[in-house]
Amino acid sequence: MKTIFKSLSISILLVFNLHVSTTAQTNANTTSGNLFSAGYAAGFIGGLYDAYYPYKQLKEHGNFGLGAPAKLDGELLILNGKLYQTQSTGKTTLMSDTGKTPYAIVCFFHADKVYKPGMVLTKAALFHYLDSVLTNINGIYAIHIKGSFNYVKTRAFPPVEQKPYLPLAAMLNKQHFFEFKNISGDLVGYKLPAFMEGAHISGYHFHFLADNKEAGGHMIDFIASDITIEVHTLNSYTMDLPQNDDFKNFDFKKDRKEEIKSVENGKKQ
């Protein structure tokens, strides 16, 4: 790992700055450069797994993102406007848009920067590299990583059954993990600033989808071998709040920052 990391810092990276003009985008400010969230992360992670937001409506706010299916039945990924569900069995399927989600974040993805690192990168090395190019620590970045991976580890939760649901951090022992070697696919995700923690999950957050669309899940770890990184810089975010009793009665006073971190990393802190 150390060798990879060092070679990164001294290598010349192939970086293309496309600088797509924002005026060329056809959507209004609230949709083109906007991160739309159905649900509030701290609420979802606290146990609000009942679906409330129609996928059809979600697709009006973006074609690229991630989230959870109804009742936490696996992991959700949205790519090119299509919905993919990876269940705890590992089964990955194209979902119809007739259902609803308890939590999902989407944007209309338009790459404004493209990077081709051209080397093997661990997750830590890639995040370090991204930190060096995504210089606005208070910025919102949508990130699409496509290519081949020496290794990918993902996870998916099994569906919850009876209420009251446990908080996500109390269900980490129920996660199913999946490991893949020499696999091609997409990482779909975001880098969000620390001040958005609570409303969202701050830092890096990716879901994975294999090229054959038969494997995926919440990304836990990877070693990328030959990838292209597209970045879309966003300038606003919208939070849609569930208008149901579970959300109305949710206790936001509890500090769930540690819980959020556990859930994102897939392990107890």
Note whether 57 binds a second copy by CB under 8 A. yes
Element (H, E) at 46: none
Element (H, E) at 78: strand 75-79
Q: Which of residues 73-132 bind a second copy (CB under 8 A)?
A: none
For residue 97, which of 63, 59, 56 has the smallest C-alpha distance? 56
Q: How far apart are CA 41 and CA 225, in angstroms?
A: 32
CB of 249 to a second copy, least distance (A): 8
Note whether 16 binds a second copy by CB under 8 A. no
Note whether 198 binds a second copy by CB under 8 A. yes
Tokens 């370090």 found at: 128
Q: How far apart are CA 237 and CA 52, in angstroms?
A: 19
Binding region for a second copy (CB under 8 A) out of 10-18, 66-74, 157-165, 187-195 = 187-195
Looking at the Cβ atoms of 51 and 121, the one nearer to a second copy is 51
Q: Which of 11, 17, 27, 29 binds a second copy (CB under 8 A)?
A: 29
- Residues in binding contact with a second copy, number by CB under 8 A: 34
User: 199, 39 in Cβ contact below 8 A?
Assistant: no
Looking at the Cβ atoms of 15 and 241, the one nearer to a second copy is 241
Q: Which of 8, 32, 40, 47 binds a second copy (CB under 8 A)?
A: 40
Can you read off the two tokens belonging to residue 189? 């995700």
Q: How far apart are CA 69 and CA 154, in angstroms?
A: 16
The residues binding a second copy (CB under 8 A) are 28-31, 34, 40, 42, 57, 60-61, 136-140, 193-195, 198-199, 235-241, 243, 247-250, 252-253
